[in-house]
Structure 1
Amino acid sequence: MDTKFDFGEPESQNTVYIRRVATSTLPEEIREQVPDLDSMYAVHDAEGEQLALVRDRSMAFVLARQNELSPVSVH
């Protein structure tokens, strides 16, 4: 049972995190473009850099998958 197993490269390179963002916390130029929204969804990489900002949660997941990334919801 002490057989070593090569798990390969970690998948975390392809993982992105989806989180809800209150529009009131966004820069003024973005708030002006979406006056009817209370929140948006941000897509972040493993280092926390914001990659995208979209209108709804499902779009964030679709965007991630279209770019061969594995989305994970963050609360």
Structure 2
Amino acid sequence: MNEHDGGAETGRIQISAAALRNLSVQDFARLGLEELAYVRPVVLNGARAFSIHAADGTPIGAAPSSQLAAAAILQHEMEPVAVH
């Protein structure tokens, strides 16, 4: 699949638009679980920090800066995504 046949590439897996429409709620929630992590600002022990979460919201780490959080995600072969 490529951009011309309606497919969407997610990391190493390509999924067609039709396949996405047919995903169950549980399968959709797991989509990207091991490939994406998001970063959001938090206050941790009274100091500003950046929490790292798996795609399903599970906390998996923290860092003192967003740059270090993104670097940690990349080091674990995941793609960082910012949440606003």
* Range class of TM-score, shorter chain: 0.5 to 0.7
Give the deviation of 1:46 after TM superposition.
1.2
1:15 and 2:36 correspond: yes
TM-score by length of 1: 0.66
Match of 1:66 among 68, 75, 84: 75
Question: Please, which runs of 5 or more residues in structure 2 have no aligned partner?
Answer: 16-30
- What does residue 58 of structure 2 align with? 49
> What number of residue pairs does the alignment pair up?
61
Unpaired runs of 5+ residues, structure 1, are: 24-30
Specify which structure has the bigger relative contact order, considering alpha-carbon pairs within 8 angstroms and separated by 6 or more residues: 1
Q: 1:60 to 1:4 in 2, by over 3 A?
A: closer
Q: Among the aligned pairs, what percent are the same residue?
A: 22
Q: Which structure is higher in strand share?
A: 2
**Greater Rg by CA:** 1
What TM-score comes out, normalization by structure 2 length? 0.60
> Runs in 1 of length 4+ with deviation above 2 angstroms?
7-11
CA RMSD for the aligned pairs? 2.5
